[in-house]
Structure 1
Amino acid sequence: MDLTRRVIVALDFDTAEDAEAVVERLGDTGQSYKIGLQLLTAAGPSLVTSLAAAGKDVFLDLKLFEIPTSVAAAVRAAGVRGATMVSVHASAGSRILRAAVRAAAEFPRLRVVALTVVTSLIDADLAEVGVTATTGEQTARLALLARDAGCHGVVAAPHDAAALRRLLGPDVLVVTPGVTLPVHPDAATDHARPAHPADAFRAGASHVVIGRALTRAPDPAAVLAAIAEELRISGAATRPAGHRTDSATR
């Protein structure tokens, strides 16, 4: 699994032009991108297609939670656009997760990852909606549900990566948003349980997602190159990383 494709750059922008400017600045350094609801709503799906056509990996972070037919249709649409990863809410249940996996099977490079607990949530937030489990307990429960439904991986906070790797084994993708960078240690974040990229990889993450701390940096390519170099030197990214021969990454 190519290291450069395991660091996913989140294109959290309001316009396609802003996102494309970052992609251009990153050049060959950036190989994997996340497009979420913000950019998709503002600019539509054309950027997914253009990035895929340029050989980039695209994580279409839709967080799908709908009836099985609608979820399957959205997953197929993601596959047609060339996405290599698409997210579904694990809380939607096994029928919906299985529908997503069946739809993704039509596209050899498309992987379904199930969102466990949103990284901005804490135990009190779960209790507010009637979930008595802690974030860690709920993450583990939903991760097992996703695995048993055939999902290729899960999305979870970096601090849960070690427990998930032990629980799910070496082949399941563990995608971790909410990583922080030393150059922006005090940057505002919505993530309640962040970690450094190297720490996330050491814990067992297969991918990390990095957003504003990188994309708003004066030289995003230098920041991304420095992250990759640190990971190579530390060896963090060589430890349990969800290596699958049919991985979405090349």
Structure 2
Amino acid sequence: MNRPLIIALDFKSRDEVDLFLKQFPNEQLFVKVGMELFYQEGPSIITHIKNQGHKIFLDLKLHDIPNTVKQAMKGLAKLEVDLVNVHAAGGKKMMEAAIEGLTLGTPLGKTRPACIAVTQLTSTSEKMIQEDLLITEQLDSVVLHYAKLAQESGLDGVVCSTHEVKRLNSELGRSFITVTPGIRMEGESSDDQSRVATPQLAKRLGSTCIVVGRSITKQQNPYKAYMKVKNAWEENEK
């Protein structure tokens, strides 16, 4: 996977998506469709966006018993998205089932969607993991453990914060995908995120791709904001 900038389409409807995408007439984007949009519009929104030539990360964070996840992934594979995900907390058998389902559901002659596991949400803090989740290990150790399980399960990578990327690259290799949300430009509000970083820092730390939402979608000129983030992410690349 190249090092894409993924835009989070955190919108409520197809109409809002269309208004946003119309501002990028000459760009092939890599976009994230999450639960908010997918649950409102259903699978048709995937076809609608694909028909415009954009790549898609379908961010549904599957977390259930292995057979349920296997059958769900078998169905999602038919949508021919580029990237899907599960929660690593579902365990090794569940993640193995996800890959099995994706493989079975991928149309003949097509490439299986890449599959990554959410380690811990970027809204999760050290205090939350200790007090709410009753996990006694340090947050970065939990992320590394989940990432190792994901790799052993045959997944292609993980979702993590930028602050864990360097260690994951060292332990698991740079070919193991690290998708990092919680990206903000310098001086922007963190909002509901706990572990944030600028595009420049994410690049220095070795993120494979970054996911950017409000820093682009909530700006008065989304295209201008997109180019600003893109340039910061790609600066110094040959």
Instruction: Report if TM-score (shorter chain) is over 0.5.
Output: yes
Number of the residue aligned with 2:201: 199
Residue identity in the other structure for 1:205: S
Q: Give the TM-score taking structure 1 as reference length.
A: 0.87
Q: AA paired with 1:82? A: E
Matched residue type, 1:81: L
For 2:25 and 2:68, locate their aligned partners in 1 and report how far apart those are by CA, in whole Å: 35
Q: CA–CA distance in 2 between the matches of 1:29 and 1:135? A: 37
Aligned to 2:158: 154
Structure 1 unaligned segments of length 5 or more: list them: 239-250
Residue of structure 2 in register with 1:89 after alignment: 87
For residue 137 of structure 1, the aligned residue among 117, 137, 141 is: 141
- Counterparts of residues 81-230 of structure 1 (less than 5 Å): 81-106=79-104, 107=106, 108-127=111-130, 128-182=132-186, 185-230=187-232
Kindly state the Cα deviation for residue 7 of structure 1 after the two structures are TM-superposed.
0.4
1:44 maps to 42
* Post-superposition offset of 1:109: 4.0
Structure-1 separation of matches of 2:75 and 2:230: 32
Number of aligned residues? 232
Deviates more, 1:187-196 or 1:166-175: 187-196
Partners of 2:174 and 2:188 in 1: CA distance: 33
Separation of aligned partners in 2, 1:14 and 1:116 = 26
Shift, 1:2, TM fit: 4.7
Match of 1:242 in 2: none
How far apart in 1 are the matches of 2:223 and 2:27? 6
SS for the counterpart of 1:105 is helix
Measured in 1, the distance between the counterparts of 2:137 and 2:59 equals 25
How far apart are the structure 2 equivalents of 1:207 and 1:82?
Answer: 20
With 129-138 and 185-194 compared, the bigger mean Cα shift is at 185-194
* SS of residue matched to 1:27: coil
SS in 1 for 2:36: helix
Q: CA RMSD in A?
A: 1.7
Q: Identity over aligned residues, as a percent?
A: 28
TM-fit CA distance, 1:58: 0.7
- Taking the aligned partners of 1:216 and 1:152, their CA distance within structure 2 comes to 31
Q: In structure 2, the residue corresponding to 1:132 is in which secondary structure?
A: coil
**Which of 12, 18, 21 in structure 2 is aligned with 1:20?**
18
SS of equivalent to 2:141: helix
Tell me the distance in 2 between the aligned counterparts of 1:2 and 1:94. Answer: 27
CA distance in 1, matches of 2:82, 2:143: 23
Q: Counterparts of 2:61 and 2:100 in 1: how far apart (Å)?
A: 17
The 3 A distance-change label for structure 1 pair 181 and 29 is farther
TM-score normalised by L of structure 2: 0.91
Q: Kindly tell me: are residues 112 and 76 of structure 1, through their superposed partners in 2, closer, same or farther at Cα, counting changes over 3 Å?
A: same
SS at the partner of 1:117? coil
Deviation at 1:100, TM superposition (A): 0.6
Q: In the aligned structure 2, how far is the partner of 1:109 from the partner of 1:55?
A: 18
> In the aligned structure 2, how far is the partner of 1:167 from the partner of 1:34?
27
SS in 1 for 2:235: helix
Which runs of 4 or more aligned residues in structure 1 lie more than 6 Å from their structure 2 counterparts after TM superposition? none
Task: Tell me if structure 2 keeps the 8 A contact 1:57–1:84.
Answer: yes
Q: SS state of the match for residue 29, structure 1?
A: coil
Instruction: Give the whole-Å Cα distance in 1 for the aligned partners of 2:25 and 2:71.
Output: 32
Structure 1 residues 186 and 229: alpha-carbon distance in aligned structure 2, compared to 1, 3 A threshold: closer
